[in-house]
Amino acid sequence: MIMKQFRIFLLFAMLLAGVCAHSKVIAPAEAPAGEGVPGASASVPGEALSPAAEAAKDAVLPPVNGQADTSAAETTVHPKKNDKPAMVLHDAQGNVLPDINGKLTLDDCIQIALANSPQAVAAQLNLQNAYVNLNLSKAEFLPTLTAGASQSYSNSKMDGSSRTDHGSSDVYAQAQLSISGITDKVRNVKIQQGAVEQAQLNLDSVKNDIIRTVKKNYYALLSAVRAVGIRTQSRDLYKDQYERAAEYFRLGLRPKVDVTTAEVNLNNEELSLIRAKNLVKTSSAQLANSMGVTTPKTLDIEDIAAFEKFEMPFDQAVKTAYANRPDVLSAQTDVRIGQIKLNQAKAAYFPTFSFSAGYSKYGDDFSLDNEETKLLASVEIPIFNAFKTYNGVRQAKISLENTVNSSRSLLNDVFLEVQSAYINMQEASESIPIAELNVEKAKENLDLARGRYNEGIGDIIELKDAEVSYTDAELSLLTARYDYASAVADLKQAMGTN
């Protein structure tokens, strides 16, 4: 009676262990929703794929006409009156993404990029795979519960005897738990937890790179658009100069060479304007590509009147990079994993403990009148294994030292990256006031040269030089401002604070 109660208690304890395993130490880990980055849940055979996964499976070519890549974002079709469907993009959380055919802000472009970038999707899938591996390592601590039934029938005839037939049935239910090398399994769980951390940090790093790229391309497009305005203004100045020279020549106040020179200057500026407009199209294509979409149209983006001034001492910028950079944090996790593997290798010098338990009931016709309980605890003491443990420990030590050295090298690289970005930012910041002063002086010189030419004192070459200087000064100021914005984006990416 006591043994039967003990067996029932053992079965109950094993079932309770299986339930409790879903919390605290060995609870199955779940990947986060994605935080703006698409990541469909891992599917199993027979389970319906998500709309994003189905679209990714069938995708062949990237969409055109402002339709983002449906392999990375869910789409909903809304028919219009003319029966031409419009594609409405959603992110992984179901939020509607901004329409790329409308007016886009910098935040809109970043949001679309994070929802469509193939690099972000790949990093999210790697994170999901890391969670799966973590759950597999935790599953080693869980018991297995099985039940089954069988029915057999045989009919035979032996020489000299009558024909016989026989049938039997069997039904069983059993619970079993077997753990060998418990400390090794615990260390494997810790290693997989480190792998999950690294996968998450890699996702953060990819997102930082995407944001930095989108910002730089956004600023480049803004710069190209403003350059068209400057070139258009310069073209109008040359056109006015040509008309004045032609009128002065008709009145006999200026020679024919002034008209010819003014016409050449106007044509050259028309060519420069054409190149500036083509640069807008190229910059738009680069921005769309960094957003993970394709469109033949030029993107319409919001202008930024003034850029935020970055104010942080260099030492603080370096400390921020060391504390926030995903690759630095991932390197620290590498060191922890290396230490765990070293301890795991050293554990081979010590005894190995194993435990297994099982309880089953079986019988005929679902009566389950028979039962069996199994308990086993064992210890295995290593004596000699041909120096495999010794060399395994040495290998783990070398690997750990190499990881520590790589981490130190990474810190040096991070320092240099932050320093370079900081110097570039300071250079652009110091260039802006000088460029603004040059524009002011060039404008004054242009007004004087135009007045001298209109009064018949100056010549057309002097006027052309003044116009070229003014246009170059405006373009230099434009470049300095957007170089500063781009340098700040590089510095923030180097600090890991995008």
Average of per-residue pLDDT across 58-65:
38
Residue 425 and residue 488 in contact, taking contact as beta carbons nearer than 8 Å:
yes
For the chain, the average pLDDT equals 78
Q: Is the pLDDT of residue 242 over 70?
A: yes
Of the candidate ranges 234-243, 248-257, 430-439, the one whose mean pLDDT is the lowest: 248-257
Q: Is the pLDDT of residue 71 over 70?
A: no
Residue holding tokens 């997102």?
A: 207
Note the pLDDT tens digit of each residue in 100-125: 788 899 999 998 898 888 888 889 99
Q: What is the dihedral of CA 116, 120, 121, 123, to 10 degrees?
A: 180
Closest CA to 496 of 418, 439, 424: 418
pLDDT at residue number 99: 79
Q: How confident is the model at residue 262 (pLDDT cuts 50, 70, 90)?
A: confident
Note the pLDDT tens digit of each residue in 415-444: 999 999 999 999 989 999 999 999 999 999
* Full set of structural domains in the chain with CATH: 2-31+68-139+170-495 (1.20.1600.10)
Average of per-residue pLDDT across 260-288:
92
Burial of 222 (0-12, 13-18, 19+ CB in 10 A): buried
Q: How confident is the model at residue 310 (pLDDT cuts 50, 70, 90)?
A: confident
pTM across the whole model:
0.70
Note the pLDDT tens digit of each residue in 38-48: 433 333 333 34
